[in-house]
Homo-oligomer: A and B are copies of this chain.
């Protein structure tokens, strides 16, 4: 089959942020744009309503670099366990034109702290970096993780775990 220019092309519209989280990620990975195959990179547009949150998540196979196109974002990531047993949090408030890096595999988040909408473009160092929304993966998996495990891991009683596991976990990707 002959390759054509359209194989390297994809249009991206603003995402619909009318949801629990007030944010929407529109990915352009190899799943959406086949010309990315073997090329080790992908892109996403992220839209935020006011106070909209892209909740703590992990890309298991890619570093993310983000640039703010519109609005103001509070962003951060947490390091892996340090020698002193801590996980350090790095945060920054980003405005239009600001660029920030979230290293591969580390939990990170973005919150719209401006008055209006916000838009960011993110690039990822994989054709298909994957997304694990942490709360969804831990409390909303199918089937659920044993509540003994979650109660001990999160230092919280089983009733609260059961309550959490019964929530609806929206995936904004």
Contact = CB atoms under 8 A, between A and B. Distances in A.
Contacts of A123: 41, 43, 65, 123
Contacts of A46: none
Interface in A73-102: 74, 76-81, 85-92, 94, 97-102
Contacts of A154: 135, 139, 164
A39 B149 contact: no
A1 interface: no
A50 interface: no
A51 B173 CA distance: 36
Contacts of A97: 11-13, 45
Contacts of A86: 140-142, 171
Count copies of this chain in the complex: 6
A132 B155 CA distance: 17
A111 B141 contact: no
Interface of A: 3-6, 8-13, 20-21, 28, 33, 35-36, 39-43, 45, 51, 53, 55-56, 58-65, 67, 69, 74, 76-81, 85-92, 94, 97-107, 109, 111, 121, 123-125, 130-146, 148-150, 152-156, 160, 164, 167, 169-171, 173
Given A35-B101, A105-B132, A135-B154, 11 more contacts: A9-B99, A39-B63, A41-B62, A51-B148, A61-B105, A87-B133, A87-B137, A107-B134, A123-B123, A125-B125, A135-B155
